[in-house]
Structure 1
Amino acid sequence: MIARCFAGILLGLPLSIALIACAIWAWPGSSESVVMPFLILFFPLWIGVMAASFLFRSGARAWAWLAVADVGAFALLWALKHTMPGL
């Protein structure tokens, strides 16, 4: 139980940051008008990821799946930054 809790906290934070950054980067037009709403949305997203980490059968699965999700989210952010026009 504690392993799933720590996985949600420690791997959920960068996952939430990467997903919010992807949404801000991919937003059409000027991003200045959407930064604050997305930053406010960050905390419920992080809490949702932490809560969803308890749906895994074991702590090892939670760590593995959240680590894969982190790598995928940061790979998506890297791809967006290198293929789309910047801020």
Structure 2
Amino acid sequence: MLAKTFAGIVLGLPLSMALVAVAIWIWPHSSESVVIPMMVIFFPLWIGIMAATFLFRSGVRAWAWLAVANLAAFATLFLAKHTMPGL
């Protein structure tokens, strides 16, 4: 139970930051108009990720899946920043 909690806290934070950053970056219109709403969405998203970690069977699975999700989210952010026009 403690491993799942720490997985949600430690890996959920960068995952939610990366997901919000990707959403801001790929927004079709002016990104300045969505920065504040996305910052408001960030905290409930992080809480949702932390709550979702308790659906895994073990702490190891939670750490592994969240690590893979972080890699995928940051790879998507990297590709979006280097292939799409942005800010």
TM-score (norm 1): 0.99
1:50 equivalent to 2:50? Answer yes
Q: In the alignment, what sits opposite 1:29?
A: 29
Shift of 1:86: 1.9
Structure 1's consecutive aligned runs of 4 or more residues displaced over 4 angstroms after TM superposition are: none
Q: How does 1:6-85 map to 2 (within 5 A)?
A: 6-85=6-85
Identical counterparts, % of pairs: 72
Question: Matches of 2:74 and 2:40 in 1, distance apart?
Answer: 20
Question: Matches of 1:86 and 1:38 in 2, distance apart?
Answer: 16
How many residue pairs end up in the alignment? 87
Amino acid at match of 1:56: F
Shift of 1:29: 1.7
Shift of 1:49: 0.1
- Conserved 8 A contact 2:26-2:86: no
Amino acid at match of 1:65: W
Q: Which runs of 5+ in 1 are unaligned?
A: none
- Conserved 8 A contact 2:7-2:62: yes
TM-score (norm 2): 0.99
- Conserved 8 A contact 2:22-2:77: yes
The secondary structure found in structure 2 opposite 1:29 is coil
Q: Deviations over 1:41-79 (max 9, x none)?
A: 000000000000000000000000000000000000000
Q: Deviations over 1:20-43 (max 9, x none)?
A: 000000001211110000000000
